[in-house]
Amino acid sequence: MVYHVSGLGLQPGGLTVPLSYVYLAFKAAEKSDRDARRFFELSGRVGGGGGLPEAVIVFTSRDVILGKVKARYEDRWFRTRTDSCPRAVARYLSSLLSHLELPRREWPELYFVEVDHTDFEDCFFKAYPTFMALASHEVWVNMVGGSNQINAALLSSGCFTAVPTRYYYVFQEGALLHPDQKMADAVRRVDLSRWCELPFFSLQIGGLMSRISRLLKGGVVNVAQLEGELERMGLGKHYIPKLVSSRLVRVEGSRVLRGWMLDYWDRLVRRIYEDVRGAAGVDVGRLNIAAWRRWAGARGVLWRVSLDDGRVEKCSP
């Protein structure tokens, strides 16, 4: 089982279309479809649970969660209509999973995390602990839905924590909730040509920055010390210009000093550690799903959406 993490704006298809491909591919893999089995070959049990969402965690605004932003959502596969984005997602997924005859016990939990979709720091502040809580699980990240700030936060916090195993997006024009195919055709033969992977983001930038920050705890070291630290990390001195251009360090002659971006990220991550410790009673590094729910519930930002009827309920600590 996998945790699927996604942003979401006003178009629920940014979430439901990629999930449709996952479920259609899973059913095809059960029938020994070669492309579908390859799709899951590094995920769980091939054709027997790999890739199926244990839970879907969606980052979006309060207005979207509560359905205050009205729009007309029509599902052409299952002929449902609604003006609420969460209900559109829930109704479509329940219809799809029922049609595919997926056992009810294998339906995912659907959570919405409230963020300020215009504020990168707020999005990062909530995405980072979420990924840390999922560190012992397989995590796929959808880069289709959501604002630029949400997606940037998911990408950067994922790189910091190195928790996600798969970043992906699906290109499809229009506002459909389902793949742009006839349902009978999609069920018979899933077309994965529109599914695109972003494998080069599965890196632990956080570990690199943490070691550099510790090295520069006193504020300044010489270039040889930085070169030695990079060598121990399997990086050469040619990496120093990258650190300089990223504003993580400053080099003045033979001296290396902290850059303003290193201080910025240190402050932001320190705030997260302090907040999680205060609300959940554990260190970020010891977060699990239960502690994450406790933290998000205490902050009043976690909502659960029922796939049965689309009802939105706020989660308590």
> Which of 45-49, 215-219, 237-241 is predicted with the least confidence, judged by mean pLDDT?
45-49
Asked if residue 232 has pLDDT above 80, the reply is yes
- Computed over every residue of the chain, the mean pLDDT equals 90
Asked if residue 146 has pLDDT above 80, the reply is yes
Element (H or E) spanning 37, and its range? Answer: helix 34-39
Q: What is the pLDDT of residues 184-194, one digit of tens each?
A: 888 888 888 88
How far is it, in rounded angstroms, from Cα 290 to Cα 141?
21
Report pLDDT for 44.
63
Q: How many other C-beta atoms lie within 10 A of the C-beta of residue 137?
A: 15
Report pLDDT for 199.
72
> Which of 114-128, 190-204, 254-268 is predicted with the least confidence, judged by mean pLDDT?
190-204
Q: Hey, is 246 helix, strand or coil?
A: coil
Decide which of 203 and 231 is more confident: 231
Asked if residue 59 has pLDDT above 70, the reply is yes
CA-angle at 102, arms to 313 and 77, nearest 5°: 80
Cβ distance 256 to 225 under 8 Å?
A: yes
Residue spans per domain, the chain: 2-203+297-314, 205-263
What separation in angstroms does the CA of 147 have from each of 9, 12, 110, 122, 197?
6, 13, 20, 13, 19
Asked if residue 152 has pLDDT above 60, the reply is yes
Report pLDDT for 48.
45
Architecture of domain 2-203+297-314 in CATH?
Answer: 3-Layer(aba) Sandwich (3.40)
Report pLDDT for 50.
63
User: What's the whole-model pTM score?
Assistant: 0.91
Give all strands (DSSP E) within the chain, no chain letters. 2-7, 53-60, 73-75, 80-82, 109-114, 138-142, 166-170, 195-197, 220-222, 249-252, 255-258, 302-305, 312-314
Report pLDDT for 45.
44
How far is it, in rounded angstroms, from Cα 83 to Cα 202?
36
Q: What is the pLDDT of residues 236-252, one digit of tens each?
A: 888 899 899 989 999 99
Is 1.10.10 the CATH classification of the domain at 205-263? yes
Q: Hey, is 91 helix, strand or coil?
A: helix
Report pLDDT for 256.
95
Report pLDDT for 46.
37
What separation in angstroms does the CA of 199 have from each of 3, 39, 167, 196?
17, 14, 6, 10
Q: How many other C-beta atoms lie within 10 A of the C-beta of residue 80?
A: 17
How far is it, in rounded angstroms, from Cα 181 to Cα 159?
34
Q: What is the pLDDT of residues 250-300, one digit of tens each?
A: 999 999 999 999 999 999 999 999 999 999 889 998 999 999 999 999 999
DSSP secondary structure code for residue 108 in this structure:
P
Decide which of 61 and 165 is more confident: 61
Report pLDDT for 204.
66
